[in-house]
């Protein structure tokens, strides 16, 4: 058994407490109790300790684009072309190295579980590798080696847009038919409780609605994710093709439900919001990516008020900092509505911890409580950013950044926070797959 003592702790349910002993056996917490002073054998965690963060929407290889797609003016679609350049060069080995470095960066920032929306399946010509799941397996191994739990959201992508055939690098994404996608995914074996295999429909653009029931039914009980209404152009094209909004199309084909996370959910009608709420869906907001891509500001408050659970993701990894994502939900809402205080800090922390873990299929994650995964993330209360800001949930959400994380315990394992080493790994992995 390993014993930790948190100077201050937010466990996920109550207010911040002073002095908390956390006892860990293997990967899970077995007991917690209040104690003002650290017991002699405890690992002392000075600062505010919170549960591990869940990054619910990641494309690990997009990390190679940071600082590159911002160089010139461009649209969402020109960004996508740059992204396709990197996507065209990855093989299982370089994919592993880039994902490993990216996931190690995540762990440094307090992320202990990731939802990888994975669509890079085949070789550059679109042919399956000898192991048809070589790319997915590389991503899973990278997460394990970085110390992260992963929900591999294996993504079905069959069309370049509303039934049009895939083109260029998209050949790598496509299994040809939903049946072949299901058969490949069915062969993936998680190999332990730290890995969950879930399903994803790339978007209403990339998969025909008649295939949705097969995809949704392929992995019963597992998480199901989809990009939804990120750009007005997608909504317009969907209305033109199907006479319905993307949410309406999902509703018509039985995809909405409490396993489903809709990613972005930026441009929704009030009927869309009601449909998502009625079905008890999750909505995964990725504010730093959405601002980078000029997507717009999604209706987080209206969704939450209707009963949709908000979760968070760093998506394209323009930034990997869930503290920034948390406060962006509230601060973007302020700009959009000219009103302050729609989101409480504790509710944003819940979105980044317990709710996020649930949406990825890790129901026993995101809280410091017996029976939960032993994930502890400690924030420095004396950094230049956090000193003098108090030691409560508001400090964590509105003052702290990923750079203030001083200790990470992930699935019971104490992580060595080697910032320089992770920087070197990132530089090496990215240099190998970019051309400029
Ligand atoms: Zn995405």
Percent with pLDDT over 70 in the chain: 99
**Which of the pair, 434 or 110, is modelled with greater confidence?**
110
Over 80: is that where the pLDDT of 78 sits?
A: no
Rounded distance from Cα 284 to ligand 1 centre (Å): 10
Asked whether the beta carbons of 172 and 124 are under 8 A apart, the reply is yes
Asked whether the beta carbons of 122 and 128 are under 8 A apart, the reply is yes
Question: pLDDT digit string (tens) for 352-365?
Answer: 999 999 999 999 99
From 60-69, 122-131, 310-319, 390-399, the region with the lowest mean pLDDT: 60-69
Rounded distance from Cα 300 to ligand 1 centre (Å): 18
Rounded distance from Cα 242 to ligand 1 centre (Å): 23
Over 70: is that where the pLDDT of 74 sits?
A: no
Compute the average pLDDT of residues 382-400: 96
Compute the average pLDDT of residues 87-100: 96
Q: How many Å apart are CA 296 and CA 298, to the nearest integer?
A: 6
Give catalytic status of residue 315 as yes or no: yes
Over 90: is that where the pLDDT of 398 sits?
A: yes
Q: Which of 118, 202, 227, 264 is catalytic?
A: 264
CA distances from 252 to 235, 248, 276 (A): 16, 6, 12
Compute the average pLDDT of residues 241-256: 97
Residues with CB under 5 A from ligand 1 (ion): 315
Question: Residue 14's pLDDT is what?
Answer: 81
This prediction has a pTM of 0.97
What confidence tier does 346 reach under pLDDT thresholds 50, 70, 90?
very high
Question: Residue 311's pLDDT is what?
Answer: 98
48 forms beta bridges with 8, 379
Compute the average pLDDT of residues 321-335: 98
Asked whether the beta carbons of 376 and 408 are under 8 A apart, the reply is yes
Question: pLDDT digit string (tens) for 275-298?
Answer: 999 999 999 999 999 998 889 999
Question: Residue 436's pLDDT is what?
Answer: 65
Residue 325 burial (CB count, 10 A): 27
Rounded distance from Cα 173 to ligand 1 centre (Å): 14
Compute the average pLDDT of residues 151-175: 96
Rounded distance from Cα 422 to ligand 1 centre (Å): 24
Q: Which of 211, 292, 295, 315 is catalytic?
A: 315
Residue 436 burial (CB count, 10 A): 5
Question: pLDDT digit string (tens) for 415-434?
Answer: 999 999 999 999 999 999 98
Give catalytic status of residue 264 as yes or no: yes
Rounded distance from Cα 125 to ligand 1 centre (Å): 23
Rounded distance from Cα 55 to ligand 1 centre (Å): 12
Rounded distance from Cα 378 to ligand 1 centre (Å): 28
Over 90: is that where the pLDDT of 67 sits?
A: no
Q: How many Å apart are CA 265 and CA 227, to the nearest integer?
A: 8
Over 90: is that where the pLDDT of 82 sits?
A: no
Residue 339 burial (CB count, 10 A): 9
Rounded distance from Cα 227 to ligand 1 centre (Å): 6
Buried b (16+ CB within 10 A) or exposed e, 136-173: bbbbbbbbbebbbbbbbbbbbbbbbbbeeebeebbbbb
354 forms beta bridges with none
Rounded distance from Cα 189 to ligand 1 centre (Å): 24
Question: pLDDT digit string (tens) for 257-275?
Answer: 999 999 999 999 999 999 9
From 19-28, 136-145, 413-422, 427-436, the region with the lowest mean pLDDT: 427-436
Over 90: is that where the pLDDT of 157 sits?
A: yes
For the chain, the average pLDDT equals 96
């Amino acid at each position: 058994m390993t014993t930790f003592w948190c100077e201050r702790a937010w466990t996920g349910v109550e207010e911040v407490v002073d002095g908390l002993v956390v006892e860990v056996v293997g990967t899970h917490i077995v007991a917690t109790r209040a104690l003002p002073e650290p017991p002699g054998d405890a690992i002392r965690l000075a600062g505010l300790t919170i549960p591990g963060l869940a990054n619910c929407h990641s494309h690990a290889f997009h990390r190679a684009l940071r600082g590159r797609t911002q160089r010139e003016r461009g649209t969402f679609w020109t960004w996508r072309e740059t992204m396709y350049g990197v996507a065209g060069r990855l093989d299982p080995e370089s994919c592993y190295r880039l994902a490993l470095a990216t996931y190690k960066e995540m762990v440094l920032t307090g992320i202990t579980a990731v939802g990888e929306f994975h669509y890079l399946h085949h070789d550059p010509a679109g042919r399956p590798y000898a192991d048809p799941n070589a790319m997915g397996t590389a991503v899973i191994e990278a997460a394990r080696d970085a110390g992260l739990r992963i929900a591999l959201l294996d993504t079905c992508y069959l069309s370049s847009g509303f039934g049009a055939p895939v083109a260029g690098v998209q050949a790598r994404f496509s299994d040809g038919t939903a049946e072949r996608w299901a058969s490949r995914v069915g062969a993936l074996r998680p190999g332990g409780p730290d890995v969950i295999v879930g399903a994803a429909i790339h978007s209403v653009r990339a998969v025909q609605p008649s295939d949705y029931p097969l995809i949704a039914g392929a992995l019963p009980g597992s998480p199901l994710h989809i990009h939804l209404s990120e750009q007005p152009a997608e909504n317009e094209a969907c209305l033109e093709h199907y006479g319905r909004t993307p949410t309406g199309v999902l509703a018509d084909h039985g995809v909405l439900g409490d396993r489903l996370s809709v990613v972005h959910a930026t441009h929704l009608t009030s009927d869309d919001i009601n449909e998502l709420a009625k079905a008890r869906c999750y909505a995964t907001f990725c504010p730093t990516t959405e601002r980078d891509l000029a997507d717009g500001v999604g209706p987080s408050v209206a969704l939450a008020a209707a009963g949709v659970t908000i979760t968070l993701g760093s998506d394209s990894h323009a930034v990997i900092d869930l503290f920034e994502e948390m406060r962006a939900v509230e601060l973007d809402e302020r700009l959009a509505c000219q009103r302050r205080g729609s989101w409480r800090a504790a509710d944003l922390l819940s979105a980044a911890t317990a709710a996020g873990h649930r949406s990825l299929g890790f129901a026993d994650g995101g809280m410091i409580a017996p029976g939960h995964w032993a994930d502890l993330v400690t924030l420095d209360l004396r950094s230049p950013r956090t000193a003098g800001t108090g030691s409560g949930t508001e400090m964590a959400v509105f003052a702290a950044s990923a750079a203030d994380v001083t200790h990470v315990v992930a699935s019971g394992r104490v992580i060595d926070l080697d910032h320089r080493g992770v920087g070197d790994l990132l530089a090496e992995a990215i240099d190998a797959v970019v051309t400029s």
